[in-house]
Amino acid sequence: MITALAGGVGAARLLRGLVRVVPPTEVTAVVNTADDMVYCGLHISPDIDTVTRTLAGRFNEVKGYGVADDTWTVLGTLGQMGGDTWFELGDQDLATHMFRSRRLEQGRTLSEITAELADIAGLATRLLPVTDDPLRTRVTLRTGQEVSFQEYFAKLRHAVPVSSIRFDGSDTAVAAPGVLEAVEDAELVVVCPSNPLLSIDPLLAVAGLRSTLEARRDRNVAVSPIVGGHAIKGPAGRLLDELGLERSAAGVAAYYAPWVGTLVIDDVDRDLAPKVEALGLRCVVTDTIMVDVDRSAALAGAVLRAGGYRGPHG
Amino acid sequence: MITALAGGVGAARLLRGLVRVVPPTEVTAVVNTADDMVYCGLHISPDIDTVTRTLAGRFNEVKGYGVADDTWTVLGTLGQMGGDTWFELGDQDLATHMFRSRRLEQGRTLSEITAELADIAGLATRLLPVTDDPLRTRVTLRTGQEVSFQEYFAKLRHAVPVSSIRFDGSDTAVAAPGVLEAVEDAELVVVCPSNPLLSIDPLLAVAGLRSTLEARRDRNVAVSPIVGGHAIKGPAGRLLDELGLERSAAGVAAYYAPWVGTLVIDDVDRDLAPKVEALGLRCVVTDTIMVDVDRSAALAGAVLRAGGYRGPHG
């Protein structure tokens, strides 16, 4: 069994490769929910949707969110009415959010609904939201204003300086059923190339996750989301800077050092390998740019080898 | 000024006629909100939407709810997913509910949003939700089970016997801004041909409404929603029976007698006029079947004459 800690797009790409090189049923993804939001009343789980759709081959790669070949009937009408359209919801996307919101109204948990949606999408991989409890990223801007993740990410297009990040609800959120066991029992934990501060940190903020990961540090392998000093996508690089961390694969190594034993970094960062190793992590250098599913699978293979994974039958 | 007490379809039809015979700016409609619901997270106000769309000429007369010529993109996808589709939401309909839900999230009141939506629809008539506070119809079935209005009305298709009706929130709900004044100051209050038990009763359940109406009883004119012993639409007839009231225009007269001075009944019920008058109401007999906008306007004219309305410059 392999358990992956996952945020959005970067994680989804690695997972897509992972299920090419091991049976999908061997993979569990523990997915960030701190980006979840209620918008127009609808419960939206951006990372869960990104992972589900990517694995189903239905992710809108052009936009970087939503469903491939979606239509915009409702959003068009909303725009004509003068309604809020900064968060672009396609028609099929909306159906997913309505499905999830309705099931929540009926008393189902986010875990149960996530499993249903994965099943509807035809996935054999197990997807677990990190928690069924409310957990919400709150970003304090340099101006002093505190905003939600989506306001920061989508509305402000992460173009404003940040002074701190916290996860509202982390003092009471408990891990969803199966999450701690999936981490504890995995032959290998794979930390996907997701934003350390916005996607991986909220997972660690859920009770029991960090200590469980620390206790098995040597069997945890992370892929650096920072390549050549920049994030492949999103504000990870900028945030590392703004929060006083080194904006490099070595900065990621320093940040993950207490609970990650091996860091996979990109070929362009090979000069940083000694620095990563000096921080007490093994370092593996390979091509980490997942431009297509073959490259995702190649990276996944490298990650498995880096972690000494011997396959489902050991 | 004319103030109309309004439920859904029957009220909307009379209002459509009313704004033909008096300037739309002279009319205020106080609309039932006890059918409002949160469904898939969306705040839906069925009666407000029915009135708004009918006055805008965009009501789906064929289905009896929703927007004319709507499309079903999202609902189709939701159905394919195995989601709940008993409440049929079209794409344009959805946009309205998203608009309303978003504005509520932003802290606007239902009154403010209703005015915005009326403005977007190009209406000059003032539409007021009876309250900005939660007010929800709860229907107790003969089986003892208590269900929401929409479960009773749409899901069970009002085909099950009812033992009682209550309005959750009525102990704390206060009238929305302008409602009590609109009733108090109106030259004429028109009680539209809506369900007395499900559409008009919740208005009376809001603090101050019933006493304000009682204090001006002689200038309140109601149109009977029961014609020939049956409701034109919906479960009004059945409910009158089930709750031990007479299922006739005279039953409506008895029910409204404490606060309505004049009842307009249909030609087919002319034999009931003496009975209505014996209950202490004036009775006007006319054609009340609003098959088209001309007949709506004719009925509206009869209602105004019945109430002695002398026009805006009276």
Closest residue of chain A to B43, computed from CA coordinates: A41
Token pair, residue B252, equals 């409506």
Q: Is residue A41 part of a domain?
A: yes
Task: Spell out the per-residue pLDDT of chain B, length 314, in tens.
Answer: 999 999 999 999 999 999 999 999 999 999 999 999 999 999 999 999 999 999 999 999 888 889 999 999 999 999 999 998 888 899 999 999 999 999 999 999 999 999 999 999 999 999 999 999 999 999 999 999 999 998 898 888 899 999 999 999 999 999 999 999 999 999 999 999 999 999 999 999 999 999 999 999 999 999 999 999 999 888 999 999 999 999 999 999 999 999 999 999 999 999 999 999 999 999 999 999 999 999 999 999 999 999 999 876 54
Task: Judge: A96–B73 Cβ closer than 8 Å, yes or no.
Answer: no
Give whole-number Cα distances, A120 to A4, A292, B77, B84, in Å: 21, 24, 12, 14
What domain count does chain A have?
A: 2
Structure tokens at A192: 């996907």
3-state helix, strand, coil in chain B (%, to 5): 40, 20, 35
Is residue B198, in this structure, part of any structural domain at all? yes
Would B295 be classed as within a structural domain? yes
3-state secondary structure of B113: helix
**Of B122, B151, B168, which residue constitutes the final position of a domain?**
B168
Residue of A nearest to B83 (CA): A99
Q: Is residue A22 a contact partner of residue A304, using CB atoms and an 8 Å limit?
A: yes
Amino acid at B309: Y
**Pick from A74, A102, A105: CB nearest B95:** A74
What is the model's pLDDT at position B7?
97
Quick one: A276 and A290 in the same domain?
yes
Q: Find the length of chain A.
A: 314
Q: What is the pLDDT of residue B120?
A: 97
A74 and B73 within 8 Å at the Cβ level: the answer is yes
pLDDT digits (tens, 9 = 90+) for A207-228: 999 999 999 999 999 999 999 9
| Number of Cα atoms under 13 Å in the Cβ half of residue A32 | 33
Angle subtended at Cα B299 by Cα B296 and Cα B300, rounded to the nearest 5 degrees: 85
**Both B55 and B14 in a single domain?**
yes
DSSP SS3 for B81: coil
Q: Examine the fold and report which residue of A168, A191, A226 is the final residue of a domain before the chain moves on.
A: A168
How far is residue B271 from each of residues A282, B250, B266, B284, measured CA to CA in Å?
96, 10, 10, 12
For chains A and B, count residue pairs whose Cβ atoms are closer than 8 Å. Answer: 100
Q: Looking at the domain assignment, is residue A269 inside a domain?
A: yes
Q: Which residues are CB-neighbours of B146 under 8 A, at least 6 positions away?
A: B138, B139, B140
The answer to whether residue A63 scores a pLDDT higher than 90 is: no
A-chain CB neighbours of B122 within 8 Å are: none
Is there a single domain that holds both residue B151 and residue B284? Answer: no
Dihedral sign computed on CA atoms, order A300, A301, A307, A313: positive
- Asked if A40 lies within 8 A of B78 by C-beta distance, the reply is no
- My answer on whether B148 and B289 are in the same domain is no
Residues of chain B in contact with residue A38, where contact means CB-CB under 8 angstroms, are 41, 105
Q: What is the CATH number of the domain that holds B57?
A: 3.40.50.10680
- Partner-chain contact A42 B41, CB within 8 Å: yes
Do residues B125 and B193 both lie within one domain?
Answer: yes
Q: Which residues of B touch A (CB under 8 A)?
A: 38-43, 71, 73-75, 77-78, 81-84, 91-92, 94-99, 101-102, 104-105, 120
B46: distance to nearest CA of chain A, Å?
Answer: 17
Give the dihedral sign, CA A90/A33/A51/A141.
positive
A116 domain residue, yes or no: no
Does B227 lie in the same domain as B286? yes
Cα separation of A165 and A222, whole Å? 22
Three-state DSSP at A108 gives: coil
- Is B42 in Cβ contact with A120 (below 8 Å)? no
Q: Mark whether B147 and B227 lie in a shared domain.
A: no
Count other Cβ atoms within 10 Å, centred on residue B311.
Answer: 11
What average pLDDT does the segment A235-263 reach?
A: 95
DSSP strand E in A72-155: where?
126-129, 136-141, 146-148
Q: Tell me how far apart the alpha carbons of residues B78 and B250 are, in angstroms, rounded to a whole number.
A: 46
Residues B156, B220 within the same domain: no
Q: How far is the C-alpha of A250 from the C-alpha of A302, rounded, in Å?
A: 19
**Structural domain ending residue among the three candidates B125, B149, B168:** B168
- Does B42 contact A40 at a Cβ distance shorter than 8 Å? yes
Q: Please indicate, yes or no, if residue A206 is contained in any of the structural domains.
A: yes
The angle that helices A46-55 and A110-120 make with each other, rounded to 10 degrees, is 20
Looking at the structure, do residues B57 and B204 belong to the same domain, yes or no? yes
pTM of the predicted structure, to 2 decimals: 0.93
Residues A302 and A205 in one domain: yes
Q: Would B81 be classed as within a structural domain?
A: no
User: How far apart, in whole angstroms, are the C-alpha atoms of residue B11 and residue B2?
Assistant: 14
In a domain, A36, yes or no: yes
Cα-to-chain-centroid distance, residue B116: 20
Give the whole-angstrom CA distance, residue B160 versus residue A223.
60
Give the domain extent around B142: 137-168
Which residue among B39, B42, B81 sits closest to A95, beta carbon to beta carbon? Answer: B81
C-alpha–C-alpha distance, residues B274 and A251, integer Å: 90
SS3 state at B62: coil
Other CB atoms within 10 A of residue B215 CB: 11
Distance from CA of A186 to the nearest CA of B (A): 32
- Residue B216 sits in the same domain as residue B160: no
pLDDT > 90: what percent of chain A?
92
Same domain, B53 and B179: yes
The two beta strands, B262-266 and A27-31, are: unpaired
- Judged by CB atoms closer than 8 Å, whether chains meet at A42 and B42 is answered as yes
Pick the closest to residue B243 from B167, B152, B163, B159 (CA basis).
B163
